[in-house]
Structure 1
Amino acid sequence: MAFVLTIAGMMAAAGPIGPSLEIDLSPRAVSGKVEAIDVTLVFEGVTAGADAPLLQIPLVSSNVDTVATGLTRVDARDAKGPIALVLHDVERPVQAAGDAEIGGKMREWNAVRAVSGRLTVRYTVPAHATLPPRGAAPPFAFSNDGQATSGAGHIFLLLPPGNAAYRTTVKWDLSKLPAGSKGVSSYGGGNATASEPLNASQLRMAYYMAGRIGTWPWPTPQRGFFAAWQGTPPFDAQALMGWTRDLYDRYAAFFGQKEPPQYGVFLRYNPINAGGGVGLYHSFVTTFGKPGLHGSDVDEVKSTLAHEMFHTFSPYIEEPAGLESSWFGEGLATFYQRRLPLRFGLITPAKFLEDLNFHAGRYYTSAMGDAPNGEVPKRFWADTRIRTLPYDRGMLYFADVDQKVRKRSGGKRSVDDLMLAMLALNKAGKTTTNADWEHLLEAELGASAVQEFRAFLAGKAPVPASDAFGPCFRSTTRPMRRYELGFDSAVLAEPRRIVRGVTAGSAAAAAGLKDGDEILVPVPQDQIQGEQGARLKLHVRRDGRDFDIEYLPRGETVDARQWELVPGADTRSCGI
């Protein structure tokens, strides 16, 4: 397989010509399996002084190792000939990139002399992940199952530092792949050009998939929805994509987009943590599992699709950067992932309740439910109970605000209006902060709402009113058990998972887990945490012997808030 990404362009239609970039990606298949990708980058208009950073890539992106540590050779040449490169690992300030973040530990290549003229860079990357997963993470790393490969720009694009924007075109050369192969990226199917100039952050937030893949429709449209999947999902992918296209069109109308831009959905198999997803540039990727396991239920996948697609349209808070503001972006997406599909008639009230109670149960049984929001970026990857707070606690907070706005306005206004006001600030180019949200809250609900928001950030549990989710639903309480891993959760986010801190009297200890055991297979927890009866299986090594330990990771019982259908409710009019 080979695919070529070309980025060439102008800073604006009537403006001066800016830098351009052409990226050739030539994967090599052996017996139908894609093994490596030869990458060639051709830059025009890129300059760098002697000993200045020329190319860079994070060492780790959202808990996923990039190709940086495995690159044994990077060749560079400009108009004057070969350029010697010096490798450096540096720490860069973390900055906001939409609702994500960039910076941190970076690998950089410095030119020993000044660069001028056309710059060509060549290197080879594996078409599959070569390092073991660190634990919970988005599906960025290359995966080459099913006579295809796919991965995100996050983990393989070496790009110059800075904020220059490039016109992006993707071209695919599939001559080294099995017959019938296709190539699709976030920019569309086959040869495609991005609708706007893209900076380095946006370029990395694109997805690439090529080989013996499924597509819907084909050829992909110049505008609107398309999809591609790698492998064989345990559900009707064509039907699911038809449902998703309908939801996308409804989202576009809700957000006032008369001509929505091109938007792609990517699906692939995930043996570790199926069912999750991540929003990218005009696209998102989600994963499926084997029949009967997580990620095989089409309704579960629909919920993920509704969540991630919402991110494409929704506002975000830019300062503080990254995970500290994820309560806003992830909380909104979790709130709307069921609210809008129910409003549009695309899910049933029963499915609405199922999704709501999963998130409410996961939060109200969490021993970390009162952790301050400031702890989220510190422990996001180390503890599933912290990682899920922005989603669950954020969702319940927005439900509480929504109910209060509806009540005060007599049903004329809702959290929709506040969310769209924040989006207008984003579109106007303002660097949005918590203060912008507080300004909207005070105008809508008074000063007390600002104090409640600050208490929420400090860890106070949101407690929405019984009818916060509409007239068809009411709150109740049920006895539920807290999630209890039974050992130091940070172990599961480490490259080598050596158990420590086994809790005496825990289910893990009762099942025979001991300090010093090595967990050989990554352990997904986010879904299990929300399922009261889900058992945890650890594949461990002890004294040279490999075996499984399985147990129910639950501790004390608490009364947790849940919601139920109001008896006699007219389920035809539950959406609000």
Structure 2
Amino acid sequence: MAEGTRPSIHLRLTPSTDDNGDIGGLRTRATLKGLSFHSGDLLCSFGRQGIPANHSSWYPYYLPPDILSKFSDGRGPLVITRVHEDSHEVRLDQETEGDIIAEWEVSVVKDSFDNLDELSGLHRDQGGLIGAGRSFLPHFNIGREYQCQAVIEWDLSGCHEGTRGVCSFGEGPEPVTTQGSGDILLGCVFMVGVINSHPPEPPPRGSGENSFCGTYWFGDLPPNLSAIKDYPTNIFPRMAEHFKDEQGSYRAFFCRAPKGPKLTSTSFHNSSIVEYDDDHTKDEHDWDLVRLINRAMVTAWARIDAEDDGSENDWFTDGLSLLYTVYLPFRFGQRSPDYFRVTINTFLSAYYTNPFIRKPYAELNALASSSKANHCWYSASAKAMRAFVYMLKMDFHTRRAADSRSVDVMRPMDEIVRDLLVKRRHGGADEKVQKKDWLAGVAYWLGQENAERHFREMIENDEGRVNEMDDLLTSFGQKHGPHPVEQEMLDFGFDRKSLDEEHVSGIVEGSRAWEAGLNNGDRIVWYARPESCETDIEKTFKLTVERDEEEIDIVYWPRSREKVRCWQVLEGKYVPPTS
């Protein structure tokens, strides 16, 4: 590939509607400018190359039919080829001249298809459409070394009055411009339809839209989710200041899932999608929703680059997104001191009572990212909570170091994080911020040997070491510091894959699930969100099963009789709200 002027992608999106006016598809026209390619060059690829559909990191994406006829340049249709029939890479059989255009219609399906290529990942929701660019756009071969300008434009002329088009970087239909790496549009959220929002109207162009935060959804939200739709807007200015990104923007997109239980958040560029289902979400407590939304917001900032061997530094994002979900809602005046105490206890309990607490981090990472991730109860939570405890201890240790030096730095770790993220945000396209940079920041306060030892013991340790908090007994003061208690180990008592296969298997004899009457072979009709039991020590797990044509409600406490040492902040006790 050879470059001409600075590369850019101009994306024009035209929704298609059905007889009811609901949006059922999206015509995409991507124009690449400032690039030239030679015969044999890779032009673009679709989806995640080499990742099987049963892998946890795979995502549905749209591969247009007759893909070989979808590209043109200044002279007309391009001659392209695929490496082999099953390849999702597009290569050129000629040199290009002028602008390169890729254009096709993306169909949106309501149900699963046997042919995964027919899935777009775009989601229909109450007459509208929402999804990430990776679901329907290819990864154009622009190269990491080039900063790319992206222009997004909506054509809403064929839609009902009141239709809005919004993406992670702004609201149309007028063109929205941003810049970043060549894959910036893959991590962009697109939403079109009759959209509700908070604030109700977008800011006027030229009035500081770059520092704007908004929440977007279709139809009516469950009352408890509606009650916190202003949370992102309220906390965003302080959070952007915290990460030294005062000119940044953020958009939270709420999307109703077709099937529950569902309450998840996925972070993208400057944005996140929160998926919920009406049946289960309506019973979630305010603090649980705040934790979900706050963690997604922090994740949009708290990222460093992969290592040179391709290994991701998930521990950085997991640990900080959870740590700042403990701190920032309270620190920035959005929730009470009780929120802080209960949330830190929630996360500590999730770490110490997880059956996988002694598994090496590398093994947890392999489990969480494997094709069997959905068949495992505990790996994802164990991996994230270990990173949280590591970050919590680094925060305490660096504060102590600052105190011992009589340095006027209240929160040294905040300074380390800010410096890394600013460097990554404003550095060159080929300048990486990696683990070594984090360790260098910690080493400034703790010394290189201690910085490396803590990381090795917590993240790289292959001996399954449990990180105790004896050395932090007085970190909050004796009254509010963490103290050792005993709590029951988490134990659901049957195979996790049962929820996906809709039939119970792997019942553990003697478990509380077994005692409650759950049997192998029961058909699962309904079940509660299991993730809430990982963080709430008192939460019961509920299922409705069908046996011999009779529906049976099963309720039990998903904990074993084995008690383990767990650290908690004991001052006071949280009583969930009754409404």
Give me the TM-score of the superposition, normalised by structure 1: 0.79
- Residue 181 in structure 1 maps to residue 163 in structure 2: yes
Match of 1:537 in 2: 543
Runs of 5+ unmatched residues, structure 1 = 1-10, 91-104, 134-139, 569-576
Determine helix, strand or coil for the equivalent of 1:436.
Answer: helix
- Residue 431 in structure 1 maps to residue 432 in structure 2: yes
Q: Give the whole-Å Cα distance in 1 for the aligned partners of 2:394 and 2:171.
A: 41
Match of 2:89 in 1: 108
Q: 2:105 aligns with which of 124, 135, 147?
A: 124
* Cα distance change of structure 1 residues 364 and 236 upon mapping to structure 2, 3 Å threshold: closer
- Residue 300 in structure 1 maps to residue 288 in structure 2: yes
- What are the superposed Cα offsets for residues 281-334 of structure 1, whole Å, 9 maximum, x if unpaired? 122222344266467433322222222222333352532677752111110110
Give the Å deviation of 1:206: 0.6
Q: 1:219 aligns with which of 182, 202, 206?
A: 202
Q: 1:253 aligns with which of 236, 241, 252?
A: 241
After the TM superposition, which of the residue ranges 382-391 and 145-154 deviates more from structure 2? 382-391
Q: Give the whole-Å Cα distance in 1 for the aligned partners of 2:513 and 2:38.
A: 57
- What are the superposed Cα offsets for residues 103-133 of structure 1, whole Å, 9 maximum, x if unpaired? xx97223345444333333333333564389
Q: Give the whole-Å Cα distance in 2 for the aligned partners of 1:26 and 1:355.
A: 42
Q: 1:82 aligns with which of 60, 77, 80?
A: 77
Match of 2:216 in 1: 228
Q: 1:161 aligns with which of 138, 141, 166?
A: 141
Runs of 5+ unmatched residues, structure 2 = 115-119, 574-579
Give the Å deviation of 1:425: 4.4
Any conservation in 1 of the 2:481–2:569 contact (CA below 8 Å)? yes
Match of 2:299 in 1: 311
Q: How many pairs are equivalent?
A: 528
* Cα distance change of structure 1 residues 109 and 453 upon mapping to structure 2, 3 Å threshold: same
Higher RCO, 1 vs 2 (CA within 8 Å, ≥6 residues apart): 1
Q: Give the whole-Å Cα distance in 2 for the aligned partners of 1:236 and 1:527.
A: 16
Q: 1:151 aligns with which of 131, 147, 150?
A: 131
* Cα distance change of structure 1 residues 469 and 391 upon mapping to structure 2, 3 Å threshold: farther
Match of 2:30 in 1: 41
Any conservation in 2 of the 1:27–1:38 contact (CA below 8 Å)? yes
* Cα distance change of structure 1 residues 424 and 260 upon mapping to structure 2, 3 Å threshold: closer
Determine helix, strand or coil for the equivalent of 2:7.
Answer: coil
- Residue 418 in structure 1 maps to residue 424 in structure 2: no
- Residue 56 in structure 1 maps to residue 37 in structure 2: no
Match of 1:198 in 2: 180
- Residue 387 in structure 1 maps to residue 380 in structure 2: yes
Q: Give the whole-Å Cα distance in 2 for the aligned partners of 1:352 and 1:264.
A: 25
Q: Give the whole-Å Cα distance in 2 for the aligned partners of 1:333 and 1:40.
A: 36
Q: Give the whole-Å Cα distance in 2 for the aligned partners of 1:17 and 1:434.
A: 31
Q: Give the whole-Å Cα distance in 2 for the aligned partners of 1:68 and 1:370.
A: 40
Q: Give the whole-Å Cα distance in 2 for the aligned partners of 1:125 and 1:376.
A: 37
Q: Give the whole-Å Cα distance in 2 for the aligned partners of 1:520 and 1:89.
A: 43
| Amino acid paired to 1:566 | E
Any conservation in 2 of the 1:326–1:390 contact (CA below 8 Å)? no
- What are the superposed Cα offsets for residues 15-56 of structure 1, whole Å, 9 maximum, x if unpaired? 934243333342333424332223333333444444543221
Q: Give the whole-Å Cα distance in 2 for the aligned partners of 1:320 and 1:506.
A: 45
- Residue 448 in structure 1 maps to residue 431 in structure 2: no
* Cα distance change of structure 1 residues 303 and 118 upon mapping to structure 2, 3 Å threshold: same
Q: Give the whole-Å Cα distance in 2 for the aligned partners of 1:132 and 1:469.
A: 54
Match of 1:268 in 2: 255
Q: Give the whole-Å Cα distance in 2 for the aligned partners of 1:278 and 1:346.
A: 22
* Cα distance change of structure 1 residues 176 and 477 upon mapping to structure 2, 3 Å threshold: farther
Q: Give the whole-Å Cα distance in 2 for the aligned partners of 1:240 and 1:373.
A: 35
Determine helix, strand or coil for the equivalent of 1:247.
Answer: helix
Any conservation in 1 of the 2:489–2:564 contact (CA below 8 Å)? no
* Cα distance change of structure 1 residues 512 and 499 upon mapping to structure 2, 3 Å threshold: closer
Give the Å deviation of 1:219: 2.2
Match of 1:67 in 2: 61
Q: Give the whole-Å Cα distance in 1 for the aligned partners of 2:399 and 2:366.
A: 35
Give the Å deviation of 1:214: 0.5
- Residue 141 in structure 1 maps to residue 141 in structure 2: no
Match of 1:96 in 2: none
